[in-house]
Amino acid sequence: MTGEKNEKKKKRRASYYYAITISNDPKTKVRSRRYTHWMLRFFEIFSAVLVLVIVGFVAYANYTGAVTATKVEALKQSLAEEQERNEELTAQNDYLNEKISILSETVNQKTEVVAQIEEKSLPTGYPLSGTADLSERYEDVKVDGEMVNVPMIEFTTSAGTYVVASGDGTVSMIKEEPVYGWEVRIDHGNGYVTIYRAGSEPKVKQGDEIPRGGLLYELETGDDGACRVAYQITNEGKYIEPTEMLKIEG
């Protein structure tokens, strides 16, 4: 039995595959390559793996490209939205800047108007329409039930001269008084009150709003041929030196 098996093994021969290359040039020799079964199997497996690798690479490249394209599109859309938002914010900023400019201009105008009003309400104007001799004096007046020595200015001028308001205000009091004849008080709305006394009857009545330079009296000749006008100022109820506020031009 053993001899028979050995005989069969001897009869078995390895199988080979040949690849023959023939050229159309008669001078070129015929070439052949010998391949074993396992070599062909290896080439088949290698080729299959190579095809799978190529297919996988192409699929991965397509997938990566699609993902990248999606991301790029998303970025483009996000950029477009940001640009649109930036344009909206720029427009809003321009609008707000314009409003701020208008408001600032309005505030400046109002501030200027308020300043002008406040300036006109300060009793700094000259209370006569013409020239006069000025003398600073003090007199005793009753303040809160007590006699107090307070400052005043006495103007001596001629008939026909007007006594005018030294600042914008409202006539708060008109009364007769024993020394000069008539007293007019103007409240300027800022803590200041001016007091005018003269022998002529006032041309205004209580409650009248008077501008700076507004007519209060038209002076007539006094007993000695001259017209006398007393002028005083209080601030928050306290008498102050009228010359501290009075502006005399010319």
Q: Are strands 146-157 and 133-143 parallel, antiparallel or unpaired?
A: antiparallel
**CA–CA gap between residue 17 and residue 2 (Å, rounded):** 31
Closest CA to 241 of 138, 144, 161, 166: 138
State the pTM of this model: 0.58
Sorted by where each begins, the domain ranges of the chain are: 1-121, 133-244
- Quick: pLDDT tens for 10-41: 555 556 666 676 767 676 666 777 767 777 77
- Quick: pLDDT tens for 63-99: 888 888 888 888 888 888 888 888 888 888 888 888 8
- Quick: pLDDT tens for 127-168: 999 899 999 999 988 877 888 899 999 999 999 999 999 999
pLDDT at 114 over 70: no
On whether the 133-244 domain is CATH 2.60.40.150, my answer is: no
Can you tell me whether residue 33 is helix, strand or coil? Answer: strand
Question: Exposed, middle or buried, 129 (CB in 10 Å: 0-12/13-18/19+)?
Answer: middle
